[in-house]
A = this chain, B = another copy of it.
Amino acid sequence: MRPIIIGFGLMILCLLVLFKIAEVNFIKGDVKLEVIVAIAAMIFFFVGLYFNYQQGKKREEPTPQQPETGTINTIDYNQIKKLGLTQREHDVLVKMATGCSNQEIATALFLSESTIKTHVSNIFFKLDVKRRTQAVQVARELKIVV
């Protein structure tokens, strides 16, 4: 909740600053309206992206879960916990299973490729595999990805 408030605070601050800059420079006639609007548009576009990203990040996960019942096409959270996979690692694993490259995963999750590589390495260790195709195969068998 904190980051959202902070984010919106910064957002509003940005807006105000833009207003001021616009006002000041407008008298001088230096800055075109188009530029100001474009900048605002860009900033808020990405703010929107980031906001949504933050929202999606905070999805619940524990779900006490019962270790039985013919759960068809359902992720087995117990299995994930048993393997010691973290939330983020699972995120990466899911993306990996769809055939994304490290760079694509990084872009999708707003992270650097380095980070993805780190996660991927940890995933391989925890799943006891050597390659991503193997990881996907194992993950599918263990029902930790659909």
User: Quick one: which of A40, A51, A129 has the most chain B CB within 10 A?
Assistant: A40
Q: Is the interface of A mostly helix, strand, loop or mixed?
A: helix
Residue in chain B with minimal CB distance to A104: B131
> Is the C-beta of A38 less than 8 angstroms from some C-beta in chain B?
yes
A contacts with B, residue count (CB < 8 A): 46
Residue in chain B with minimal CB distance to A96: B133
> Is the C-beta of A132 less than 8 angstroms from some C-beta in chain B?
yes
Copies of this chain per assembly: 2
Contacts of A59 in B (CB 8 A): 98
Q: Give the distance in Å from the alpha carbon of A37 to the alpha carbon of B35 in the complex.
A: 10
Of B52, B129, B133, the contact of A52 (CB 8 Å cutoff): B52
Given contacts A23-B33, A33-B36, A133-B133, 5 further A-B contacts (CB under 8 A): A18-B37, A48-B49, A98-B137, A99-B131, A99-B134
